[in-house]
Amino acid sequence: MMIPLLKRDFTACIRIFLILFAVICMYTVIIIYLYDPEFAHILNDYQELLPDLMAAMGMTGAATNLLEWIQVYLYGFVMLLLPMVFAVILMQKLLTGYIDSGAMANLLATPNSRRQIIRTQAAAAVLWMAVLMGAVTLVGIISAGALFPGELDLAGYINLNASTFLLQLLICGIAYAAACMCSESRQYYLFGAGLPVLFFLIQAIANMGEKLEWLKFFTIFTLLPCNRIAQGVEGVWQYNLAMAAGAAALFAFGSIWFEKRELYI
């Protein structure tokens, strides 16, 4: 890897990281703060009054403990959408932005190989997503410990965030492959952002009813085993392995394509 480039990537991405981290933390703390049996009845009433809307947002199911509460009201919408936005913007700044601005020409003019450059950008993307998910996990643990000592299943919460990290890494892989293949930002957003958003919309539609449930087989968000983790069901590792393998394949494909492509800068 190129350490100077890695430092430059940190400077380029810190602002968007802080913004999205603050928003996710706000939602996390609020949801944990609202963990109360009386308030749970109010949210259950919303599920009955607006079943399609709540289902589309992934906010369905009864919460019998703090972990299930967090899973229902955070990991059906907020923890899917906001890190996905971060992944898409991250890849634009790390790859497409360099090409559009002409900075990639400067990088390619250095003694460093294309392989070093692209691997550095891939490492930066993985590190940023790991920092985001790790920091959010820490905030959740601290908030739960301060507001409801001893009520959060720490192992389950960490597993929930680890699986979410792998899903977001898979989304990063899609955006990374698109950025490596596309020459302009508009092309990148069409595929790098368009595909994850399409998968998200398909997941929302699939959540809305039994007749549409078959659509879950056409979205990567089905791979996130939130319910299994919250309920302590075994067999989570297969889903995690599938997401990790998919992310690795996409990053490898994007790197190989970038190394062999012609860049008109």
Q: What is the pLDDT of residue 100?
A: 79
- Position 90, amino acid: L
Task: For 252-264, write each residue's pLDDT tens digit.
Answer: 999 999 988 777 6
Q: What one-character-per-residue DSSP string does 39-60 give?
A: HHHHHHHHHHHSHHHHHHTT--
Residue 28 and residue 22: Cα distance in Å, rounded?
Answer: 10
What domain range is 204 assigned to? Answer: 3-260
Domains identified in the chain, total number: 1
Q: Region 21-39: what's the mean pLDDT?
A: 87
CA distances from 180 to 59, 89, 239 (A): 35, 14, 26
Q: What is the pLDDT of residue 220?
A: 95
90 assigned to some structural domain: yes
Q: Does 25 score more than 70 pLDDT?
A: yes
Residue 162 and residue 155: Cα distance in Å, rounded?
Answer: 10
Q: What is the pLDDT of residue 148?
A: 92
Q: What is the pLDDT of residue 264?
A: 60
Q: What is the pLDDT of residue 47?
A: 60
Q: What is the pLDDT of residue 122?
A: 94
Residue 85 and residue 65: Cα distance in Å, rounded?
Answer: 29
Q: Region 172-192: what's the mean pLDDT?
A: 91
- Position 110, amino acid: T
68 assigned to some structural domain: yes
265 assigned to some structural domain: no
174 assigned to some structural domain: yes
69 assigned to some structural domain: yes
Could you tell me the pLDDT band of residue 58, with boundaries at 50, 70 and 90? low
Query: Of 20, 33, 78, 51, which is closest to residue 226 (Cα–Cα)?
Result: 78
Query: Of 230, 253, 244, 251, which is closest to residue 94 (Cα–Cα)?
Result: 251
Q: What percent of the chain has pLDDT over 70?
A: 88
CB atoms within 10 A of CB 49: 9
How many residues does this entry show for the chain?
265
241 assigned to some structural domain: yes
Range of weakest confidence among 54-68, 78-92, 110-124, 214-228 = 54-68
Could you tell me the pLDDT band of residue 46, with boundaries at 50, 70 and 90? low
184 assigned to some structural domain: yes
Q: What is the pLDDT of residue 54?
A: 59
Residue 2 and residue 97: Cα distance in Å, rounded?
Answer: 18
Q: What is the pLDDT of residue 9?
A: 87
Residue with token string 């090409």: 99
DSSP collapsed to 3 states, 121-173: HHHHHHHHHHHHHHHHHHHHHHHHHHHCCCCCCHHHHHHHHHHHHHHHHHHHH
83 assigned to some structural domain: yes
Q: Does 89 score more than 90 pLDDT?
A: yes
Could you tell me the pLDDT band of residue 53, with boundaries at 50, 70 and 90? low
